[in-house]
Amino acid sequence: MKKLLTGNEAVARGAYEAGVTFASAYPGTPSTEILENIALYDEIYSEWAPNEKVAVEATVGASIAGARAMAAMKHVGLNVAADPFFTFAYTGVNGGCIIVSADDPGMHSSQNEQDNRYFAKAAKVPMLEPSDSQEAKDFVKVGYEISEKYDVPVLLRLTTRICHSKGMVDMDDRKDVEIKEYTKDIPKYVAAPANARVLHVKLEEKLKELEKFSNETELNKIEWNDKKIGIVTSGIAYQYAKEAFGKEASYLKLGFTFPLPKDKIRDFSKKVEKLYVIEELEPYIETEIRAMGIEVTGKDKLPVVGELNPDIIAKTLLDDITPIIDMDEDKVVGRPPTMCAGCPHRGFFYELSKKKDVVVTGDIGCYTLGASPPLLATDTVICMGASISAGHGFKQASEKNNRSKKVFSVIGDSTFFHSGITGLLDIVYNNGNVTVVILDNRITGMTGHQENPGTGYTIKGEPTEEIDLVKLCEAVGIKDINIINPLDLKETREAIDRSMSLDKPNVIITKWPCVLKKMKAEEIEEYKLNDRKICYVDNEECKKCKMCLKVGCPAISFDPSVGAIIDDAMCVGCDVCLQVCPFGAIKKTE
């Protein structure tokens, strides 16, 4: 049987067919759907972890117990998980283990476009790179065989186009893999310095065997066509290269990319007249080939930033420019992302944006858009959890130099659980004076509504303990905590003003569910969502002052001849614009 699957769905299917027992992840685009689909298989225990480090550590534990295990994350998530990832390469596995890194060339939903192939080389972990959905499934199954044969974890490196593109996939039955016996082995699993020194030597020996495997395996295969041009490539770049060159070139398609098959590369290069390396982002393969003394064309012509595509390759390497339809650039309207109509973050950022003597350190989530026009409230966004730590550093450095700006550190509920708690500890422990704002929209919003420790439900929708943010903040030493409805601008303004006057660390929790969230019965009752009426503009009373546009709601537009207009198909009746209008021209429907 065949099915049309995305790469993420195919990875999940591969885990199922390979007999995986345990899977853990923190949601992050483009990797999120891997665990969402694994969770559909009852044969696999699956969970959302608070962050990627915890996910990998739990996966390591499952592997040591003897089970086949998987952790999945986006590329920057592997930064968070690097500590256990590097050490796990030394200790090796018991049950097979795959770590999935989904890179994001072009930064469609990320703060950088790092090339995680270098993580494999740095950590000395063998790496697989599928080029379509079928390979995504197959490589998972092969990855577990490699992992158990060579006693190593395996890095499965995907990219956005592999994750989200669809292809036909052959569906196979699940392989029943019995959990291996666990035997206490201190020299192998206790990574103390004396043991680690020995383990490192063993790992280097494994890498020699893995390079031999790399030269022999059909995961790295040659496709002979015209030998005037030879192309070494991997992953989605293989598909782009094939589309641009077709049968006018021969290909060394690499599916096992660390260690690289140096003997196979040498042999291939000798049999072609001109050698290209076509790869996305960094010259990972190219640098290794150049170090072998082989002349090659690559990043001297191809870009090192952004996604590749067949047109870029054809234009750069073949001087073949694909004709495009002419259009009037002046008529193309920019459509930057914006908070949804009714987003609970909008009211808070609107009030905060009116404060001109504050610094707002932001974080990763929908609320990153607090930095966008017309709100322009946020000063910094660095990485998950950095809002609190950076805010503390900014405040302490400022006070040391006699500056007195108030600092608000804004973070989402899921991000706070991910890596914000330790920043809050830092503030309390070091006598900081920052207002931490936790935007609790009752779900992990940006990545598509995954449960988190604060929602009260697991990845499978099963009820669990709901972590109480107030008690958690109190437990780390915060004495002043204020819970507000961020859609009530008066309440929000008073909370901000009060925090401005405080000379101690404090927390504001804005609590209102994401407008797109599938509401549970208790939430509908708690937030009285069935009673909400949408808004409209009485244009007889509208003075065309445009104040309502300053909240940045996509449901509001402006016609100079009429005034403000509210799209009743988008409005959800959050009332923020109604509270902003100074003339009472915005009203509620009956």
Query: 174 lies in a domain?
Result: yes
Query: 327 lies in a domain?
Result: no
Phi first, then psi: give them for residue 531, nearest 5 degrees: -95, 0
Which 3 state secondary structure label does DSSP give 205? helix
Q: Among 318, 334, 355, which residue terminates a domain?
A: 318
Which 3 state secondary structure label does DSSP give 230? strand
Query: 362 lies in a domain?
Result: yes
What is the full DSSP assignment across 413-468? HHHIIIIIHHHHHHHHHTT---EEEEEE-SSBTTTT-B--TTTSB-TTS-B-PPP-
Label residue 333 by pLDDT band (50, 70, 90): confident
Query: 413 lies in a domain?
Result: yes
pLDDT in the model for residue 492: 98
Shared domain check, 139 and 34: yes
Q: Which of 497, 495, 486, 482 is nearest to 576 (CA)?
A: 486
Query: 508 lies in a domain?
Result: yes
pLDDT in the model for residue 505: 97
Query: 300 lies in a domain?
Result: yes
| Cβ neighbours of residue 223 closer than 8 Å, sequence gap 6 or more | 250, 251, 253
Q: How far is CA 526 from CA 413, 490, 521, 522, 530, in A?
A: 19, 20, 9, 6, 10
According to DSSP H, which parts of 179-234 are helical? 186-189, 193-216
Phi first, then psi: give them for residue 102, nearest 5 degrees: -105, 105
% of the chain with per-residue pLDDT over 70: 100
Q: Is residue 322 predicted with pLDDT exceeding 90?
A: no
Shared domain check, 466 and 352: yes
Range of the domain at 304: 220-318
Shared domain check, 558 and 541: yes
Which amino acid, residue 585? A
Which 3 state secondary structure label does DSSP give 255? coil
In angstroms, rounded to a whole number, what is the distance separating the alpha carbons of residues 366 and 445? 7
Residue range 213-260, pLDDT digits in tens: 999 999 999 999 999 999 999 999 999 999 999 999 999 999 999 999
Q: Give the position of tokens 């986006």.
A: 74
Does the bond joining 259 to the residue before it have cis omega, within 30 degrees of 0? yes
Q: Among 216, 238, 254, which residue terminates a domain?
A: 216
Query: 574 lies in a domain?
Result: yes
Counting Cα atoms < 13 Å in the Cβ hemisphere of 2 gives 7
In angstroms, rounded to a whole number, what is the distance separating the alpha carbons of residues 542 and 565? 10
C-alpha radius of gyration, the chain, whole number: 27
Does the bond joining 337 to the residue before it have cis omega, within 30 degrees of 0? no
Domain of 377, CATH number, reads: 3.40.50.970
Shared domain check, 398 and 352: yes
pLDDT in the model for residue 325: 84
Shared domain check, 108 and 82: yes
Domain of 552, CATH number, reads: 3.30.70.20
Shared domain check, 555 and 511: no
Shared domain check, 12 and 161: yes
Shared domain check, 573 and 506: no
In angstroms, rounded to a whole number, what is the distance separating the alpha carbons of residues 210 and 421? 40
pLDDT in the model for residue 324: 81
Label residue 67 by pLDDT band (50, 70, 90): very high
Q: How far is CA 279 from CA 100, 308, 373, in A?
A: 19, 8, 36
In angstroms, rounded to a whole number, what is the distance separating the alpha carbons of residues 103 and 112? 10
Q: What is the DSSP letter of 516?
A: T
Shared domain check, 190 and 91: yes
Q: What is the DSSP letter of 368?
A: G
In angstroms, rounded to a whole number, what is the distance separating the alpha carbons of residues 483 and 473? 12
Label residue 488 by pLDDT band (50, 70, 90): very high
Label residue 384 by pLDDT band (50, 70, 90): very high
Shared domain check, 205 and 102: yes
Total number of domains in the chain:
4
Q: Among 185, 216, 247, which residue terminates a domain?
A: 216
Is residue 232 within 8 Å of residue 257, measured between CB atoms?
Answer: no
Domain of 305, CATH number, reads: 3.40.50.920
Shared domain check, 377 and 463: yes
Is residue 169 within 8 Å of residue 137, measured between CB atoms?
Answer: yes
What's the whole-number mean pLDDT along residues 102-118? Answer: 95
Q: Is residue 531 predicted with pLDDT exceeding 90?
A: no
Q: Which residues partner with 360 through β-bridges? A: 408
Distance of CA 489 to the CA centre of its chain: 32
Is residue 13 within 8 Å of residue 171, measured between CB atoms?
Answer: yes
Q: Is the sign of the CA dihedral 86, 88, 92, 95 positive or negative? A: negative
Q: Which pair of structure tokens corresponds to residue 522?
A: 């208790």
Shared domain check, 361 and 212: no
Residue range 28-61, pLDDT digits in tens: 999 999 999 999 999 999 999 999 999 999 999 9
Query: 339 lies in a domain?
Result: no
% of the chain with per-residue pLDDT over 90: 94
